[in-house]
Each structure stands twice: as structure tokens, then as C-alpha cells.
Amino acid sequence: MKDLSLLIVGGGSGLGALLASMAVDEGAAKIGIIDINTEAAEAALEPARAKGLPTASAKCDIQVGPECHAAFEAIASKLGRIDTLVNCAAIYPRRPLLEITDADWDASNGINIKGTYHMMVAAVRHMQQQEPKGNVRGRIVNLASVDAFKAHPQNAHYAATKAAVVSLTRSFAHYVAKDGILVNSVAPAGMATEKAKALGFLEELAKASPLGRGAQPPEIAEWVLMTGGPKNTYMTGEQVIVSGGYIYA
């Protein structure tokens, strides 16, 4: 991660905030966060500030394209360049298959698909203009889910949006390969997060995994940082599935 300028969308909490902290520990040089919660974004930047690193945050409703572009450019202008964009922002509104409402669809599509798309476009336009480091001008990592590849009737609208993220990842990777921009996704199975604990389905995660437990967030974050870090110079358009064996169970 040495000398890396990293921007995390949805970095104010959960996996995004953990990524910011771990990236600092692994040598990242600059950290930016885009989040709807300004206070949370600022708090997540504290580990970087404690080490005297340049930081920037911006508030953004990622469902709105112009807001995404403005937020991205505000951070890019402050940090100078963005080497890696990580799209972490998503919602997980569980609802039985036959009870999904229009409002459920609109919210899930707006954040999980449209938001990811808008931020990717903003990143590509920025990265196309910057000088490459070696053969790579930039990297984009999208958080997908193993639910994109398996039946998930308890949360079909979420699974559908993550399948769309996989598709977007492949399309963008193909489109920007000529520019030296690498685009991949990391698709975890269930994580033992505070949200999972609050919603009460940790036991369900454990039963679904051959390892008998959900992933600890750092176990997923490491793969995100690896995929978005300087050691990745060739992989693009791929889906890194980190499921504890759930994908074949």
C-alpha cells in the first residue's frame, strides 16, 4: 500500500471504516472518504490524521450523479490524485421474496447499483487523466457479494443488485483496460459485523458456512486492499470470492 492514495465510498462505518484504518497501518499515503454521514467520515479518518497523513472527506448522496462527481473531484483536488477507489456503500434491507415493495427496489437499486455506477464513472474520468504508476493508472474495487452467485430468497432484491455490480465490474474492466485502469470486485459471504449481530442472523451465517462461522471483517478487508493495492498489476474484470466455502456448500 506504500504511497497509495485511497478513496473509500461508504467509509464512515463498517467495512469501509475498517479499510481506512487498515490501509493506514499497511502504509497508504493519503485517505479520502465519501459518506452520507459527515461526522462518521471524519471519525474514520482519525487513524490517518494521527499519523499526519493527508485526508479529505465529502458528504454525498450517491444516488445522485452530480453529487457523486462533485464529491469525487473535491477529494481528488485536495489529495492530488486517486490511485484506488473502493465502493463499499450499500444497503441490506431483508424482505421475503414475494413482499418486496417498489420502495425497496428503488432504495436498493439507487444505492447499490446507481451509486456504484456514478462513482465508477467519476473515478474513470479522473484516472484517465493522471500519469500511470508503472503500467497502471488506477484501480477500482467494488464490494459485491456471494449472494450474486447463489439463490437468496430472503433478500432477492439485494442479491440482484450485487449481481448487477458484478456485471458493471466486468463491463467497466473491459472498457478501461486500454487506459491501464484495473476494475475488480470482492464478493464476501456473510460477515460477523455489528449490523449482523443487531439483525440476529449470525447463527444463520455460521450454519451456512463449511467453516462454521461468518467472516471477520478484517478477513474481507485484506482481500479488498490486496485487489486495490500496488501488487495487483494485471488482474482485471475478476470477482474475488471470499466465502469460507459457502459458495460450494
Residues carrying an active site annotation:
158
Q: Pseudo-torsion of CA 171, 128, 221, 143, nearest 10°?
A: -30
Q: Please say whether the beta carbons of 17 and 44 come within 8 A.
A: yes
Beta strands in 152-246 (DSSP E): 181-188, 239-242
Work out the number of other CB atoms within 10 angstroms of the CB of residue 108. 26
- Cβ-in-10-Å burial (0-12, 13-18, 19+) of 213 comes to middle
Q: Which residues contact 197 (CB under 8 A, 6 or more apart)?
A: none
**What is the Cα–Cα distance from 240 to 223, expressed in whole angstroms?**
8
Closest Cα to residue 142, out of 177, 116, 124?
116
